[in-house]
Amino acid sequence: MTIRPQNLETISPVLASFQVSQTAGVDDLKDADIGAPVKLSDNGEVGPLGADEQLLGKLISLTLTDGDDGQRVATVQIGGICRLPVSAPVPLVGNRIVGGGSGTVKQAPAVASDPDGGNIARGTVLDVNGTIDCVILLN
């Protein structure tokens, strides 16, 4: 009997719903952003993840109302295992990640001392697919 490969992304995702942040009355997340990493804003809404920002999770879906313009609700995977696109510096297995910009994540910078809780790195990288994407445990 051979060992069957495991699809890690199907193991117990933790999902949550959030309002989508807006700029000038237009939602910051569009249908094209589904599958991308997102961040949590100061007012508890979600928006695109920028360079060196703290990852909240992976955008799973958006409500179908208002056709990209209006106050939509986002479903975000905030825990479990997910796959996200990467940019340089590409993380290695065991690394933590931060926003890489343009809908990607990257290896978090090293922090020598963190007495004030300023390290925004998140997750644990479980697998890396070259320079394309990585599998992350959102812990």
Identify the three-state secondary structure at position 18.
strand
Closest CA to 84 of 131, 35, 122: 35
Q: How high is the pLDDT of residue 66?
A: 57
Query: What's residue 40's pLDDT?
Result: 96
Across the range 122-139, mean pLDDT stands at 94
Report pLDDT for 26.
Answer: 85
pLDDT at residue 1 above 70?
Answer: no
Average pLDDT, the chain: 88
- Residue corresponding to tokens 């910009």: 101
pLDDT at 5 over 90: no
* Domain 8-138, CATH among 3.40.50, 1.10.10, 2.40.300, 1.20.120: 2.40.300
Residue 81 has pLDDT above 70, yes or no: yes
49, HSE (Cβ side, Cα atoms, 13 Å):
31
pLDDT at residue 110, rounded to an integer: 81
Q: What is the pLDDT of residue 10?
A: 65
Token pair 């100061």 is found at 42
pLDDT of residue 9: 65
For position 91, what pLDDT does the model report?
96
